[in-house]
Amino acid sequence: MAEAKKQKHFVLVHGSNHGAWCWYKVKPRLEAAGHRVTAMDLAASGINMKKIQDVRSFYEYNEPLLEILASLSADEKVILVGHSFGGLSVALAADKFPHKISVAIFLTAFMPDTKHQPSYVVERFSESIPREERLDTQYSIIDKSNPSRMSILFGHKFLTLKLYQLSPPEIFLSNITLTCLDIFHHKSIIIFSGKIDLELAKMLVKPGLLFTDELSKANEFSNEGYGSVKRDFVGSDKDNCIPKEFQQWMIQNNPVNEVMAIKGADHMAMLSKPQPLSDCFSQIAHKYA
């Protein structure tokens, strides 16, 4: 019974262009620490089969997350984690189900407030980033009858320099090389290394929706909902996507219970520093036990 009480349920929400796959290093670490972990794909993300053209609203995009929270038992609460654009998903979920969340963790994420429209922090961020800093990011109109429905897709250069610049090299052996070595009876072994997480992202990222126009016209998140949920912010000190200065501005704009930082992590802290991040999450879980 005591062990059951110690177990916490983490719900992990990915950012734009990504999917549940980006949590593949953190999920087993949290589970090894005794926690329950749910990582889902939002609509038209990861292996979710919905087409991006068929996602008509921010609410529809987040239906997989909202369905999970709606399915929880009356006395169950989760630790809800949102990364990057997933911070807006966390805010929406907290506004709808504040009683289901023990703490919301914003991991280098956009963190809205209850004073402005939901799009406010994203608009401020867009204004602060020069166009040339967006590199090869692609923007497309997905509905000619509604030009405001724009998609975004991170290019390889943007992924490399802005999101995954500190992803660690992984060492692996080439089966073809080993076969050749065996045939010719060579005694040496050639080892190849590469940034596997970056290459994985290049293959798996999918276009995401911005929802800026919709969210700029939406009602503010409520004080009774989102505003009543405890919040912690976890930043990365080497984040080239959402700079430390902008992270600090969001925290000043909407103060949180606690601010923690993952040293030596890029924007994808769950991949560049999975163990320190998992330890940080566990520490937060114990705090809100």
Instruction: Report the sign of the C-alpha dihedral through residues 42, 45, 51, 55, in that order.
Output: positive
The residue behind tokens 């991949």 is 271
Q: How many residues does the chain have?
A: 289
Strand (E) or helix (H) holding 193: strand 192-194
Catalytic residue among 16, 45, 84, 282: 84
Closest listed residue to residue 260, CA positions, set 286, 231, 229 = 231
Strand order in the sheet with 150-153: 138-141, 150-153, 208-209
99 is catalytic: no
Given 267, 272, 278, 282, the catalytic residue = 267
Q: DSSP secondary structure string, 184-212?
A: TT------EEE-HHHHHHHHH---EE--H
Kindly give, in sequence order, each residue whose CB lies less than 8 Å from that of residue 179, ignoring residues fewer than 6 positions away: none
Which is the catalytic residue, given 35, 239, 266, 278? 239
Do 52 and 252 form a contact (C-beta atoms < 8 A)? Answer: no
Identity of the residue numbered 160:
T
d(CA 265, CA 273): 6
Shortest CA distance to 160 belongs to which of 124, 208, 127, 201?
201
Token pair 């984690």 is at which residue? 81
Does the active-site annotation cover 84?
yes
30 CA to centre of own chain = 16
C-alpha closest to that of 37 among 284, 210, 278, 273: 278
193 catalytically annotated: no
Catalytic site positions: 84, 239, 267
